[in-house]
């Protein structure tokens, strides 16, 4: 069984989820707020230490046509930083529809907007699982 952490990158905050490859499902964990345009590396380090993931998945923000958005450059930089800091494989996956889906899921729950990014991160991971299993 492989544990992965998923990241919904944003310049102000990053949603994080944990998932298991055997079930192909993910659970929202937390949304970490950055400071001065920098991720909360201490918070990320604590989560990596606690969950011991074998790989990380970062959502790649794309526009509806599949082109990369402005924040995509920053998300790629964040993915490279994760790889450099934690020496884990980092995968990126198109996250076009995850924020929309996260909002739809959130409407069925209490209105905790803080959880939106963590829900989006869980959807990013679940998308990764479905795509990576399709290629096995």
> CA-CA distance, 60 to 128, in Å (whole number)?
11
Tokens 């992965």 belong to: 4
**Cα gap 47→40, rounded to integer Å:** 11
Question: What is the full per-residue pLDDT of the chain (136 aa) written as tens digits?
Answer: 699 999 999 888 999 999 998 888 999 999 999 888 899 999 999 999 999 999 999 998 877 776 777 888 999 999 999 999 999 999 998 876 666 666 666 665 555 656 778 888 998 998 888 887 654 4
Domain hosting 30: range is 3-134
Both tokens of 106, joined, read: 């959130």
Rounded to two decimals, the pTM is 0.84
Which CATH number does the domain housing residue 101 bear? Answer: 3.30.420.140
Query: Quick one: which of 114, 76, 105 has its CA closest to 93?
Result: 76
Helix, strand or coil for residue 6?
Answer: strand
What b/e string do you get for 3-32 counting C-beta neighbours within 10 Å, with b at 16 or more?
A: ebbbbbbbeebbbbbbbebeeeebebbbbb
Domain count, the chain: 1
Q: What is the DSSP-derived secondary structure letter of residue 94? A: E
User: Which tokens sit at 6?
Assistant: 């998923």
Q: So what's the pLDDT on residue 54?
A: 96
User: What is the reported pLDDT for 35?
Assistant: 86
The Cα-based distances of 41 to 34, 48, 104 in angstroms read 8, 10, 29
């Amino acid at each position: 069984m492989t544990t992965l952490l998923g990241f919904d990158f944003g310049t102000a905050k990053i949603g994080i989820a944990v998932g298991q490859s055997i079930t192909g499902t993910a659970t929202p964990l937390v949304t970490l707020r950055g400071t001065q345009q920098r991720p909360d590396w201490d918070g990320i380090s604590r989560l990596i230490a606690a969950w011991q993931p074998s790989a990380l998945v970062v959502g790649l923000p794309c526009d509806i046509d599949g082109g990369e958005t402005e924040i995509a450059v920053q998300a790629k930089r964040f993915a490279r930083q994760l790889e450099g800091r934690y020496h884990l494989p980092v995968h990126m996956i198109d996250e076009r529809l995850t924020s929309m889906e996260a909002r739809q899921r959130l409407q069925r729950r209490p209105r905790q907007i803080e959880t939106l990014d963590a829900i989006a991160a869980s959807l990013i991971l679940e998308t990764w699982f479905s795509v990576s299993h399709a290629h096995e």
